[in-house]
Amino acid sequence: MTQSNSLKLFVTLLLIMLTVFAFCVEDIYLLLRPPQVGQVALITIRTGQSFDYDQEKALGAKRKQALAEYVPLYNYSNEVLESAKKKIRALQDMIPAFKEEKRAGAASLWGYLNREFDVRLERQEAERLYKYHKLDNLLEVMMTIEESILQNRIVDDTASIKGKKTIEIFYPGSTSTQIFPADRLITIEEAHLALDEKAPQLLWQVDKNLLNTVTALFHHTLAPNLTYDQPGNSRRIEEIIARYPSVIVSYQPDDVLIPFGTVLNEKDTFLLEEYRKTRIDELYRIIPWIFLVVVLSIIFYTVFLATVFGKHQQKRIAGPYLFFLLIITLVIMKACLLFTPFPYYALPFSLLPLTLLLLNQDVVTTVGTTLLASVLVGFAVGQSLTIVLFFAVGGLGAAFLAARIRKPSHVVLPSVVVGLINITFVMVLSGNWNTFMSPAGAGMNAGVTITGDVFETAALIHGGWAFLGGLLAGPVSLVLLPVFTLMWYTTPSFKLRRFIDLQHPIMRDLLVKAPGTYQHTMIVASLVQAVGDAIGADTLLLRVGAYYHDIGKIQKSNLYVENQLGGQNDHDDMDPMESARFIIGHVEKGIEVGRAIGLPAVVIDMISQHHGTQIVEFFYEKAKARQGSLTHKATYRYPGPKPETIEAAVLMIVDAAEAASRTLSNPTRERIEKVVRVIIEKRIADGQFDECDIRTRDLGMIVQTLVDALVATSHSRVMYPWQDEKKVDFEFEELGL
C-alpha cells in the first residue's frame, strides 16, 4: 500500500470514528463522569432524542425525605417574661391601695384580678388573698419560679416538631438562626405542670388553697416563648417543593439540559441521572446503525467523486485533505455545541462549501462534500433527518451562490442568502400552517396573527439563530482560510483571480519588451488549461502560473531566442557558461519580480519549479564540445526545486513541449506526439517528477490532451492563390511593381 493510500485510509477511519464519537460524546461524558452536586459541567449536555422527564418518579421520594428532614423555624420572644413581670408588679403596686379601702378592698381586688388576669376567682378566694399579710413576698417567690420555667424553650404544641430532631430558633437582635435539639423543648402544658409542681415544693408552708389561687394567676402570665414562624416555614416548604417538582417535562432533540460551566445542584443531578438511564439502552441500539450509515455515506462519496465525475475530480484538494477538512468542520461544529448553549440552527455549517470554493475547488466536488458533511454533522448533532436537511439545504445554497468568488467581500452576499434560506427552512418547518386551513375563515380573515397563531416565540428565536448561523459562515471561512492554505499548500481563488487579468502592468510590460515570450506564454496558458481540465488539476492556478512563469525574461529579453525574431543571436559571441547563467537567471529574476508584485506563494513556486533541476542542454553540449570532460554538469543545471505539485509538473511539460513543437518544420501529429513523449521520458529519467504526486495514467492523459491541442494550434492550411510565389511575382509585374 502506497503512502498516499495509507494516509487516505487513516483519515477515513479517523473521520468515521470521530463522527460516531461526536454523536455520543455527551453520553460518554455522563458515563465516565456521573453527575455530582457541586461539580462543574465541562460540556453542554443536550438531549440526543425525545425525553420525558417524570419529576414525580425521579424526585418524589427525595421530596418526602426532604420534607421529613425539614427543620422548622421558630422565633424566640423575651416579651413573655417581661409581660409577666409587668402584670405582677402592677398587682403589687395596687395591693396597698386595696388595703386602704378597708371593707371594700377585697371586692376591689376580686374585680381587678378577674379583669386583668382573665381568671374566674370566687369572692372568698380574693378575700383570702386580701387578708394574707405576706402577699407581696408570695408574689415575688412565684415570679422567681415562673422566671426559671421561662428559661426553657416553650412551644404551644408539638405537632410542628413531631419526628424532628432539631429546630432553628431566631433570637431578637441576631442576624442568623441557631440550631436547638427538638427533644429539649417543652410544651405550655408541661410548663404549667412544672409551675404546679415547683410552687408547693418551695412554698410548702403557705396555705394550699391560697397557693392554688396564686398559682392560677401565674398560669395566666405563663405563655410559650417560641412561636412558629408561619411565613418563613411556608417559604421553606415551597422551596423544597420547587426543588423537587412533580410534573412531567418533555424535551426534544437538541434541547439543552445543562449548559457548559454550570455548577450542578441536586436538581440538575437528578435530571442528568434520569436522562442517562433513559439514554443508555437507546445508545447501544443506535450506535451500530450510525456507524453503518456513516461508512456507507463515505463509500458513496468516494465512488461519487472517483467514478461518476471522473477519477481526477479530487485533485484540486486531494482526497485525504478533503477528509481532513471534513474532520475540521465536524470538530468546529461539535465544539460550538459542546461549549455554548446555542441551538444547532446557529452553527455556521456553510463555512465548508464557502471554504472549498475559496480554495478553488470545483462545484461538483463542493456539492458532494457538502452533502456528506451534512450527514456527518447531522449525526454528530443528533441523528434527526430534519437536522441533516437543514445543513444540506443551506450548504447547497452556499455552494451554488458562491461558485465565482472574486474577492473576500464577495462572501457576504452568499452568507446573507444562506441566512435567509436557513430562516425560511425553520419557519416552514415550525409554522402552525393548520391555522390557515381552519374553517373559521381561511386565515387572516379569521384574525390570524403571524407571531401568535402561526409561529410560536420559540420558532422565531430559532429562526433568528438560523439566520445568524448563515451570516457567520462567510466571516468564519475567511478567518480559517489562512490555516487551510498553509495546510494544503494552495491559495484562495480570489487571490489568483487578481492576476489573471492580461491588463496587469507586468503582462503589458511583457508584451512590449518580450513579445515572443508573451506569445509563448499565451499559448502555454491555453495548453495548460486544456491539460488541467483533462486531469482535474487546478486550472485557475495553472493559467496564472503560465502567465507569469517567464516574467523573468522581461529584462534582457533579446537573450532569449523567441524574442530575437531572426536577428543576431548574442549567445554566438558568449561563453557557454555565461549564456547558461543568463538563461538560468530568468527563473531567479522571475521569483524576484513575482514577489515584488505580490504573486501568491504557490505561483512563485511554480516559477521556481517549472524548469526543476534540469540541465540547460544546448549550452551544456556546446561547452562540452569545447572543453570535453572538464565541463561540470552541475554548473548548467537550474537551481530548482523539482516540481512539488501536479500543476508545476504540468507547466514544466507544457512549457517544454510548446517550445519544442515550434522547431518542427513539418509538425505532423506523429512528430508532435514523439516530441511530447521524449520530453516526458527525459524528465522522468532525470527524476524531475520525484517530488510530486503524478501518476502514469495522469501522464497518459497529459500526452493525449497536449498532442491534440498542439496539433490544433499547428495544423496546416490550404494555400491561397496569392500565396503562390510565382503567381505573386507575375501579378506584381502586371501591376508594374
The Cα 357–Cα 679 span in angstroms is 34
Considering the domain boundaries, does residue 270 fall inside one?
A: no
Looking at the fold, whether 149 and 87 belong to one and the same domain comes out as: yes
The Cα 512–Cα 498 span in angstroms is 21
- Residue-level pLDDT at 545: 92
Looking at the fold, whether 538 and 461 belong to one and the same domain comes out as: no
pLDDT, tens digit (0-9, with 9 covering 90-100), for 274-296: 888 888 877 778 888 888 988 99
- Residue-level pLDDT at 449: 47
pLDDT category at 591 given cuts 50, 70, 90 is very high
pLDDT, tens digit (0-9, with 9 covering 90-100), for 160-176: 888 888 999 999 888 88
- Percent pLDDT > 90 in the chain is 21
Q: Which domain holds residue 626?
A: 511-721
Helix (H, G, I), strand (E, B) or coil at 251: strand
Where does a domain end: 433, 465, 493?
493
Determine the Cα angle at 117 with ends 112 and 119, to 5°.
95
Strand pairing category for 153-155 and 185-187: parallel
**Does 451 score more than 50 pLDDT?**
no
**Does 233 score more than 60 pLDDT?**
yes
pLDDT category at 2 given cuts 50, 70, 90 is low
CA atoms within 13 A on the CB side of 47: 19
Beta strands in 156-313 (DSSP E): 166-170, 177-181, 185-187, 226-228, 248-251, 256-258
Helices (H), 117-181: 123-131, 135-149
Q: Which of 385, 382, 429, 342 is nearest to 252 (CA)?
A: 382
- Distance (Å) of CA 95 to CA 92, 113, 140: 5, 11, 13
The H or E element spanning position 51 is strand 51-54
**Does 722 score more than 60 pLDDT?**
no
What cell numbers appear for 434 in the block?
A: 393548520
Looking at the fold, whether 202 and 295 belong to one and the same domain comes out as: no
Give 23-32 contacts, CB < 8 A, sequence gap 24+.
23/48, 23/287, 23/290, 23/379, 23/380, 23/383, 24/48, 24/283, 24/287, 25/334, 25/338, 26/338, 27/276, 27/279, 27/280, 27/283, 30/272, 30/275, 30/276, 30/279, 31/276, 31/280
- Per-residue pLDDT, averaged over 471-493, amounts to 81
- Residue-level pLDDT at 310: 54
- Residue-level pLDDT at 570: 66
pLDDT category at 527 given cuts 50, 70, 90 is very high
Helix (H, G, I), strand (E, B) or coil at 54: strand
Where does a domain end: 433, 459, 493?
493
What cell numbers appear for 398 in the block?
A: 452556499
pLDDT, tens digit (0-9, with 9 covering 90-100), for 409-429: 778 888 899 999 999 988 887
Answer whether 132's CB lies under 8 Å from 66's CB: no
Considering the domain boundaries, does residue 280 fall inside one?
A: no
700 vs 50: which has the higher pLDDT: 700
Considering the domain boundaries, does residue 683 fall inside one?
A: yes
The Cα 541–Cα 519 span in angstroms is 19
Considering the domain boundaries, does residue 358 fall inside one?
A: yes
Q: For the chain, give the mean pLDDT.
A: 82
Looking at the fold, whether 540 and 465 belong to one and the same domain comes out as: no
pLDDT, tens digit (0-9, with 9 covering 90-100), for 66-111: 888 888 999 998 888 888 889 889 888 888 888 787 778 888 888 8
Answer whether 73's CB lies under 8 Å from 176's CB: no
Considering the domain boundaries, does residue 504 fall inside one?
A: no
Looking at the fold, whether 564 and 422 belong to one and the same domain comes out as: no
Looking at the fold, whether 481 and 519 belong to one and the same domain comes out as: no
- Residue-level pLDDT at 148: 92
Where does a domain end: 458, 493, 528?
493
The Cα 13–Cα 10 span in angstroms is 5
- Residue-level pLDDT at 652: 94
The Cα 51–Cα 85 span in angstroms is 66
**Does 487 score more than 60 pLDDT?**
yes
- Residue-level pLDDT at 335: 92
Helix (H, G, I), strand (E, B) or coil at 475: helix
- Residue-level pLDDT at 321: 78
pLDDT, tens digit (0-9, with 9 covering 90-100), for 535-549: 878 888 899 999 999
CB atoms within 10 A of CB 385: 9
User: 487: which residues sit within 8 A by CB, 6+ positions away?
Assistant: 321, 324
Beta strands in 219-371 (DSSP E): 226-228, 248-251, 256-258
Looking at the fold, whether 380 and 435 belong to one and the same domain comes out as: yes
- Phi, psi for residue 432 in degrees, rounded to 5: -90, 75
| Amino acid making up residue 94 | M
- Phi, psi for residue 19 in degrees, rounded to 5: -65, -45
CATH number at residue 627: 1.10.3210
- Distance (Å) of CA 85 to CA 74, 94, 141: 23, 14, 12
Looking at the fold, whether 468 and 527 belong to one and the same domain comes out as: no
- Residue-level pLDDT at 578: 81
Burial track 48-78 (b if 16+ CB lie within 10 A, e otherwise): bbebebebeebbeeebeebeeeebbbbbbbe
- Distance (Å) of CA 584 to CA 10, 601, 637, 638: 42, 20, 8, 6
Looking at the fold, whether 476 and 522 belong to one and the same domain comes out as: no
- Residue-level pLDDT at 318: 56
In the chain, the number of structural domains is: 3
- Residue-level pLDDT at 317: 54
648 vs 629: which has the higher pLDDT: 648
How would DSSP label each residue in 84-133?
Answer: HHHHHHHHHHHHHHHHHTGGGHHHHHHHHHHHHS-----HHHHHHHHH-T
Looking at the fold, whether 331 and 402 belong to one and the same domain comes out as: yes
Considering the domain boundaries, does residue 273 fall inside one?
A: no
How would DSSP label each residue in 290-319?
Answer: HHHHHHHHHHHHHHIIIIIT-TTGGGGS-H
**Does 625 score more than 80 pLDDT?**
no
Q: Which of 225, 283, 237 is nearest to 79 (CA)?
A: 225
Considering the domain boundaries, does residue 147 fall inside one?
A: yes
Residue in this structure with the C-alpha cell 503589458, named with its chain if needed: 508
The Cα 77–Cα 171 span in angstroms is 7
- Residue-level pLDDT at 168: 92
- φ/ψ bin of 228: left (φ > 0), alpha (ψ from -120 to 50), beta (otherwise): beta
pLDDT, tens digit (0-9, with 9 covering 90-100), for 370-395: 999 999 998 888 767 888 899 999 99
Q: Could you tell me the sign of the dihedral formed by the alpha carbons of 116, 119, 120, 126, in that order?
A: negative
pLDDT category at 309 given cuts 50, 70, 90 is low
- Residue-level pLDDT at 567: 60
**Does 495 score more than 60 pLDDT?**
yes
Looking at the fold, whether 486 and 517 belong to one and the same domain comes out as: no
pLDDT category at 694 given cuts 50, 70, 90 is confident
What cell numbers appear for 445 in the block?
A: 380573515
Global pTM value? 0.67
**Does 574 score more than 60 pLDDT?**
yes
The Cα 595–Cα 633 span in angstroms is 30
Considering the domain boundaries, does residue 676 fall inside one?
A: yes
The Cα 414–Cα 419 span in angstroms is 8
- Per-residue pLDDT, averaged over 55-61, amounts to 81
Looking at the fold, whether 520 and 488 belong to one and the same domain comes out as: no
Determine the Cα angle at 423 with ends 419 and 426, to 5°.
140
